[in-house]
Chains A and B, each alone.
Chain A
Amino acid sequence: MSVEADRNPESSPQQAARDERVREISPVRKALIRPELGAICGTILVFVFFLAVARDSGMFSADGALNWTVVSAQFAVLAVGACLLMIAGEFDLSVGSMIGFSGIVIAITSVTWGWPVWAGILTAFALALALGWLNGYLVIRTGLPSFIVTLAFLYILRGLTIFASIATTRKTIIGGVREAAEGDWLAPLFGGKILNGLFVTLADWGWIGKLRNGNPVVDGIPMLVVWALVLIVAGHLLLTRTRFGNWIFASGGDAQAARYVGVPVNRVKIAMFMLTAFCATVFATCQVIEFGSAAADRGLLKEFEAIISVVIGGALLTGGYGSVIGAALGALIFGVVQQGLFFAGVESSLFRVFLGVILLMAVILNTYIRRMITGER
């Protein structure tokens, strides 16, 4: 929303006729009422903190940075979907189960049944999109809160995943995907790395370290990071710049008011459930191709991590307000802190304490920001 504020040629002629009771809003206050504000502050704070305590731990060397970048990217991929869905006024608690499900679908089709990996990946995406549609359709048709409907799917999908895995292979972990993916045309889109040459050059220049075998410590940007960046940029543009984005805000802001002016609210919400499922499958596919295996218990608690990233990013749990950039920063905070505590040698159980505290702070800040926007007391 703030994007429109950046340039508005029309406001100047109005100056004279301004209502004397409307207080001038200072630029500081204006900057304050952006959804991303909390996440921007948080990001700065987190980086300052870790630069102070963990500078010498290797956290900010090339391989250290890649480490938390990848973790953040994992959160970000899920957060983009969860963010747009939350702005449209719904939740999806089945994201974690969807990750396990998609991974197992790829492994069963490609390893157990011997399909080409690309066919397995496309099957996983098709099934996930269908399930996302079903989630949305049930929420719309029954009028039940999405919390309940997707909670049911959290269990249904997890159970089905474990069942399918055991029924076909008598194991809950299916390996051998890496071998199956050799020479596949689609798998590198999820498991490969780009810009290998750049990093070799950087290592030759001595900008980044080399391993003993002469390869640079970082040999490329993983595709997961590329997916995260693409999803963030596309999601941001979709939300703030397009007609469909306006409908997302409207559907979450007040579905009935949106319907009265002809916004296809049901279609918008179902599409967002499908997007969330899509993001979960991107995550699952990257993980399966990278690890070379799928496990039926993958993705546990991921739905909550995604929702926390989104909330830290300034979205309102009640819908109608939020930002993809904010959610991405929320994911960055998440990743940096999780890995940073490890680099700083802090007991990792404290990470959850931190998470709870920051979540609470973010929600309080968001509530305050909303009051400022809407002028409620």
Chain B
Amino acid sequence: MTTPLIELRDIEKHFGSVIALAGVSLSVLPGECHCLLGDNGAGKSTFIKTMSGVHMPTHGEILVEGRKTVFDSPRDAMEAGIATVYQDLAMIPLMSVTRNFWMGREPQKRVGPFKFIDFDKANSVTMEEMAKMGIHLREPAQAVGTLSGGERQTVAISRAVYFGAKVLILDEPTSALGVRQTSNVLATIAKVREKGIGVVFITHNVRHAMAVGDRFTVLNRGKTLGTALRGEITAEELQDMMAGGRELADLAEVLGGTV
């Protein structure tokens, strides 16, 4: 069996008297899309923040490519190749695509005693990377604000991939998107997976998860209800596990279909 890119074992996280996570385990293999499902308040956010170095776990351990690791800051996690794309904080709308893409890591060239941004390189790389993801920009100086929500997610994803992410954590990338845009983002996830990058896809939409997921982990009230392989589980079962089952099933009967 291949070594997981990242493995989290029995992660517990307490905030004062609140137990946000009570022993969650999850691993991400190269080239897989691991879906993390859970209703609001299930602990998804706390868990990915632990994975991306924002929170230190109270108990449990994190292994990066088999080695035990402690992340002191998001910077540590980034350097270990763990990149997180947040739903709405990924991009700055007033800035150009190029400026967003390179933000924090601008390529520089020396002109006399000064260092300026190498816009030729920055622009051409941006166009190239975006084209790989199937987005053809009018021009790299176009403001991100002119892009659709799905395209913005894609810029953020291709940025993470270009800068060497091994594990890509996507925080509800599809929750605010329309049907067409969602399928674009799911297609992007598929492309990223082909490169051997492990994807952690957080969502509460079972259908989106079933579309691209290889493995599924459901979080409910800070606990994991186990990890299932693709084909071992149906969408209805996932839905039930997420919602705690019964009430929703009753509701489904009343409504005459699946919720």
Contacts and interface: CB of A to CB of B under 8 A. Distances in A.
Contact of B94 (A245, A256, A374): A374
A14 interface: yes
Given A242-B115, A374-B93, A8 B105 contact: no
A315 B100 CA distance: 19
20 contacts: A1-B95, A1-B141, A4-B119, A7-B120, A9-B120, A17-B131, A18-B136, A22-B138, A242-B115, A242-B116, A243-B115, A243-B117, A253-B93, A253-B94, A254-B89, A254-B92, A261-B105, A320-B92, A373-B143, A374-B145
Contact of A4 (B91, B98, B138): B98
Interface majority SS (helix, strand, loop, mixed), chain A: helix
A263 B103 contact: yes
Contacts of B13: none
A343 interface: no
Contacts of A376: 145
Interface string A345-377: 000000000000000000000000010011110
A143 interface: no
B222 to A, nearest CB: 25
Contacts of A263: 103-104
Interface majority SS (helix, strand, loop, mixed), chain B: mixed
Contact of A374 (B86, B105, B124, B146): B146
Interface in A181-240: 237
Contacts of B146: 373-375
B145 A246 contact: no
A111 to B, nearest CB: 38
B163 to A, nearest CB: 9
A261 B104 contact: yes
A249 B95 CA distance: 7
A242 B117 contact: yes
B105 A4 contact: no
Nearest to A240: B117
Interface of A: 1-5, 7-11, 14, 17-19, 22, 25, 237, 241-243, 245-247, 249-250, 253-254, 256-258, 260-263, 316, 320-321, 370, 373-376
A11 B31 CA distance: 32
A17 B127 CA distance: 12
Nearest to B75: A262
A25 B132 CA distance: 24
A260 B96 CA distance: 18
B139 A11 contact: yes
B103 A250 contact: yes
Given A11-B139, A242-B116, A243-B108, A258 B92 contact: yes
Nearest to A14: B136
A8 B141 CA distance: 9
Contacts of B120: 7, 9
B138 A10 contact: no
Contacts of B167: none
Contact of B92 (A241, A243, A253, A375): A253
Nearest to A22: B138
Interface in B79-124: 84, 86, 89-96, 98-99, 102-106, 108, 114-117, 119-120, 123-124
Contacts of A18: 136, 138
Nearest to A371: B145
A11 B127 contact: yes
Contact of B140 (A4, A22, A246): A4
B123 A260 contact: no
A14 B117 CA distance: 24
B137 interface: yes
A11 B128 CA distance: 10
Given A242-B116, A262-B78, A374 B92 contact: no
B164 interface: no
Contacts of A11: 127, 137-140
Contacts of B137: 11, 14
A255 to B, nearest CB: 10
A262 B86 CA distance: 14
Interface string B218-257: 0000000000000000000000000000000000000000
B92 A260 contact: no
Contacts of B103: 246-247, 250, 258, 261, 263
Contacts of A257: 86, 89-92
B139 A8 contact: yes
Contacts of B108: 243
Contacts of B106: 243, 246
Given A1-B96, A22-B138, A320-B94, A256 B89 contact: yes
Nearest to A3: B119
A284 B93 CA distance: 38
B71 to A, nearest CB: 14
Contacts of A250: 92, 95, 99, 103-104
A10 B145 contact: no
Give the residue among B84, B124, B141 with the most A Cβ atoms within 10 A: B141
